[in-house]
């Protein structure tokens, strides 16, 4: 009887501690971003120094590359936001793909210094090229 009065509360405390360690910091590890329609609607509420993440599809025909920057437009089919990204985007960056950028508003333009590009989860081995050496595949 005395064994149960000690073991059951100890197991309960261990369970609560384990749960709080596993799930307590979950909100801090989640990455939230606004889509263009939400960002435009909340643009007056955000100060010019307030950073946030903006995600959407890169609009076709909007990508303009210059020395050290890329200008493009993110859209969610309800609104569009012009983006200026300072840096070199990843190899997968192109029109029509999903992207999440982090930065802040400057007027009506979103200036970003961090970019995450959505990639395809499917991997396909390229067909061997007749001009390539044996064992070499082209993507």
Checking DSSP bridges between strand 69-75 and strand 80-86, what pairing results, if any?
A: antiparallel
Q: Give the residue numbers of the binding site.
A: 119, 123
Q: Give the residue numbers of the binding site for heme.
A: 119, 123
| Close Cβ partners of 98 (under 8 Å, ≥ 6 residues apart) | 55, 56, 57, 58, 117, 118
């Amino acid at each position: 009887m005395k064994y149960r009065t000690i073991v059951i509360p100890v197991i309960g405390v261990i369970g609560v501690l384990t749960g709080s360690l596993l799930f307590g910091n979950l909100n801090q590890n989640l990455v939230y971003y606004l889509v263009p329609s939400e960002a435009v609607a909340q643009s007056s509420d955000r100060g010019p120094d307030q950073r946030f993440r903006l995600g959407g599809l890169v609009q076709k025909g909007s990508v303009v590359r210059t020395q050290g920057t890329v200008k493009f437009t993110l859209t969610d089919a309800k609104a569009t936001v012009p983006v200026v990204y300072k840096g070199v985007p990843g190899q997968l960056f192109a029109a029509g793909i999903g992207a999440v950028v982090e930065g802040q508003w400057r007027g009506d333009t979103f200036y970003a210094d961090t970019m995450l590009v959505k990639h395809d989860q499917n991997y396909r081995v390229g067909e061997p090229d007749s001009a390539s050496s044996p064992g070499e595949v082209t993507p």
